[in-house]
Structure 1
Amino acid sequence: MTNGKGAVLLIVEDDREMRSLLCDEFCGMGYQLREARDGDEAFLSVLQSVPDAILTDLRMPAGGDDYVSRLRTVAPQCPIVVMTAFGDARLKAQVLKAGANAYFDKPVHIAELKNCVQQLLNHGPGAEGR
């Protein structure tokens, strides 16, 4: 795994302001960023080139737990971190079963999110769901 410097992070978020905030935060850590506005755009991006990690919203166009499953089929080793404002314990279990490595409820604590992504990049996709 990579330590973050130069790692490619795909940020998938349909809310432009949230996507911009996430990009600003992770850019400052030395990541190379790619962006997608929805699940379909993210899937096509991953098909073209698998990033080192994926940070994605869940409830967006072409999102959901089957979207996470689709990502997992084309990027089996890539860490996937999911965020949602509309989650509960059942959804968290579904998303982790679908292949996400970590799950965060919104509003997200940026420091925890950054730490999680860094740990996954340093230690691989075997990290526990949050």
Structure 2
Amino acid sequence: MAYPQQRRVLVVEDDDTIAKAVATRLTAEGFDVRVASDGEGALVAYARFEPDLVVLDRLLPGLDGLEVCRRIQAARPVPVLMLTALGEETDVLVGLGVGADDYITKPFSMRELVARIHALLRRVDRAAQLASEETVLRVGEIEINLAERRVFVRGAEAQLTRTEFDLLRRLAERPGQVYERERLLADIWGFSEAAATRTVDSHVRALRRKLGSEVVRTVHGVGYALVRP
């Protein structure tokens, strides 16, 4: 996929073999890539390189990936795709809670990694296009400001990641309509593979934690719907 200008990606991974393989593939895809192997080095590279996206390992020597993600999002928020060998739901939700936009569990395919990076960057581009618009979606006690990418529940702002926001926006476009997991994967993440539907489930759980357990309805064996007031 061609972009009007070369996008910069910072890869933070302490396994040299994985780091080199990811950097080589992303360079072949047309990205400008830098690599860091630990948490402190990641923060230095982030400040100097000013990447458009960060691929971040969860387990790092020194500062771990969670702390690196937290500091990155506090300094200058950018999309973060977290690599994790920890497949437990709690570990995934902790990563999403500190500002990661998406995650992929090791071992992973390069094809899936590249697809998720492209999907994250497309969402950045769409958000930029909405910046000049003053569009607000309201569903019950939830208010979604599309231009500012802010969400309020009963007047209090909820801090959502980029992916959580995009998922909520998609569901809010047609409250009550049931969206299949595969369709949400295609719309939000840019690909549709049945094996990856757990990604959707994790982000829905994160939304419920932040907005209320009753906000998103599960239709077992099908998908999800935003509850119509």
The normalised TM-score by structure 1 is 0.89
Larger Rg: 2
Cα distance per residue 1:100-123 (max 9 Å; x no partner) = 000111001221111110111121
Q: Name 1:103's counterpart in structure 2.
A: 103
Contact 1:59 1:84 in 2 (8 A): yes
CA shift for structure 1 position 28: 0.8
Contact 1:5 1:31 in 2 (8 A): no
- Map 1:18-97 onto structure 2 (within 5 A): 18-61=18-61, 62-76=63-77, 78-97=78-97
CA shift for structure 1 position 5: 5.4
Contact 1:55 1:81 in 2 (8 A): yes
Structure 2 letter corresponding to 1:59:
L
Q: Name 1:126's counterpart in structure 2.
A: 162
- Structure 1: which 5+ residue stretches go unaligned? none
The structure whose RCO (Cα within 8 Å, separation 6+) is larger is 1
Structure 1 letter corresponding to 2:71:
R
Q: Distance in 1 between matches of 2:55 and 2:3?
A: 16
The normalised TM-score by structure 2 is 0.52
Identical amino acids, percent of aligned pairs: 26
Structure 1 letter corresponding to 2:66:
D
Contact 1:80 1:100 in 2 (8 A): yes
C-alpha RMSD of the superposition: 2.0
Of 9-18 and 60-69, more deviation after overlay is shown by 60-69
- Structure 2: which 5+ residue stretches go unaligned? 125-160, 165-188, 190-198, 200-229
Poorly superposed stretches of 4+, deviation over 6 Å: none
Contact 1:46 1:74 in 2 (8 A): no
Q: Name 1:8's counterpart in structure 2.
A: 8
CA shift for structure 1 position 72: 1.0
Q: Distance in 2 between matches of 1:87 and 1:71?
A: 23
Q: Distance in 2 between matches of 1:72 and 1:110?
A: 25
CA shift for structure 1 position 4: 7.9
Q: Name 2:156's counterpart in structure 1.
A: none
Of 82-91 and 4-13, more deviation after overlay is shown by 4-13
Q: Distance in 2 between matches of 1:5 and 1:111?
A: 22
